[in-house]
């Protein structure tokens, strides 16, 4: 899956939203053991985007493909997961905004899932959730405050890598290995 493909599908369906936030939302739901039939996926995404389901249906196969891509990423044995973000052709501020939106979507999806957090998350999971919440509130760079571009890019890359590790930590504690087969839409 490609960020631009999803952005184009949003435009064709006349939807306002962030491809990164949608991917984060789906990954959060999957991490919280929420698995969808095709109809329920459309309904849930419509609620998330605050639109009628018919509008989400206009996304066509892209939504199902994105969902399956997300399931495969989260469940890969070598954890091939990476948040869906714009490439380096976008400005750093645009990429930071998408990174923030991805984290917001993930946290919303996780909180919206079947996951029952009757107990406070402990240790690494609690820290990872707190860090994702902090990243979701990242402040954009003001042009006059921009430092060394290479340092800014390196910091961005470190944030993306940290998100990968944080999601791996959260998923490692929340997804039962035998659930992977039940997540595929048939």
Residues 25-49 have a mean pLDDT of 89
Q: What percent of the chain has pLDDT over 90?
A: 50
Query: Residue 79 phi/psi, 5° resolution?
Result: 40, 75
Rounded alpha-carbon distances, angstroms, from residue 130 to 109, 119, 125, 134, 170: 15, 15, 9, 6, 11
Asked if 98 and 22 count as a contact pair (C-beta separation under 8 A), the reply is no
Residues 6-21 have a mean pLDDT of 92
- Domain interval for residue 135: 3-183
- DSSP of 120-155, one letter per residue? ---HHHHHHHHHHHHHTTPPPPPGGG---HHHHHHH
> 20 or 181: whose pLDDT is higher?
20
Instruction: Please tell me the total count of domains within the chain.
Output: 1
Q: How confident is the model at residue 164 (pLDDT cuts 50, 70, 90)?
A: very high
> 113 or 159: whose pLDDT is higher?
159
Q: How confident is the model at residue 174 (pLDDT cuts 50, 70, 90)?
A: low
In this predicted structure, which of 22-26, 124-128, 137-141, 158-162 has the lowest mean pLDDT? 137-141
Residues 68 and 56: their CA atoms lie apart, in Å, by: 16
Rounded alpha-carbon distances, angstroms, from residue 150 to 49, 92, 147, 157, 160: 35, 11, 9, 10, 15
20-45 as b/e: b if 16+ CB within 10 A: bbbbbbbbbbbbbbbbbeeeebbebb
In this predicted structure, what is the pLDDT of residue 11? 92
Structure tokens at 148: 């060394």
CATH, residue 44: 1.20.120.740
Residues 180 and 182: their CA atoms lie apart, in Å, by: 6
Residues 124-129 have a mean pLDDT of 86
Q: Considering the chain, what is the average pLDDT of its residues?
A: 84
Q: How confident is the model at residue 46 (pLDDT cuts 50, 70, 90)?
A: very high
Asked if 137 and 55 count as a contact pair (C-beta separation under 8 A), the reply is no
Q: Write out pLDDT tens, residues 65-118.
A: 999 999 999 888 887 889 999 999 999 989 999 999 999 999 999 988 876 554
Q: What's this model's pTM, rounded to 2 decimal places?
A: 0.86
Asked if 37 and 83 count as a contact pair (C-beta separation under 8 A), the reply is no
Structure tokens at 21: 């936030």
Q: How confident is the model at residue 178 (pLDDT cuts 50, 70, 90)?
A: very low
In this predicted structure, what is the pLDDT of residue 186? 45
């Amino acid at each position: 899956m490609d960020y631009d493909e999803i952005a184009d599908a949003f435009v064709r369906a006349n939807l306002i939203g962030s491809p990164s936030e949608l991917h984060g939302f789906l990954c959060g739901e999957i991490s919280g053991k929420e698995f969808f039939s095709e109809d329920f996926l459309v309904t849930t995404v419509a609620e998330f985007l605050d639109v009628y389901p018919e509008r989400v249906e206009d996304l066509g196969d892209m939504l199902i493909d994105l969902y399956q891509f997300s399931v495969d990423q989260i469940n890969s044995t070598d954890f091939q997961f990476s948040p869906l973000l714009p490439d380096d052709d976008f400005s750093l501020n645009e990429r930071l905004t998408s990174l923030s939106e991805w984290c917001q979507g993930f946290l919303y999806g996780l909180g919206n899932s079947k996951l029952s957090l009757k107990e406070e998350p402990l240790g690494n999971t609690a820290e990872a959730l707190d860090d994702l919440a902090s990243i979701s509130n990242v402040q954009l760079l003001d042009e006059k405050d921009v430092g060394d571009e290479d340092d800014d890019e390196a910091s961005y890359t470190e944030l993306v890598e940290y998100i990968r590790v944080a999601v791996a930590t959260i998923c490692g504690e929340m997804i039962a290995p035998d659930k992977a087969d039940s997540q595929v839409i048939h």
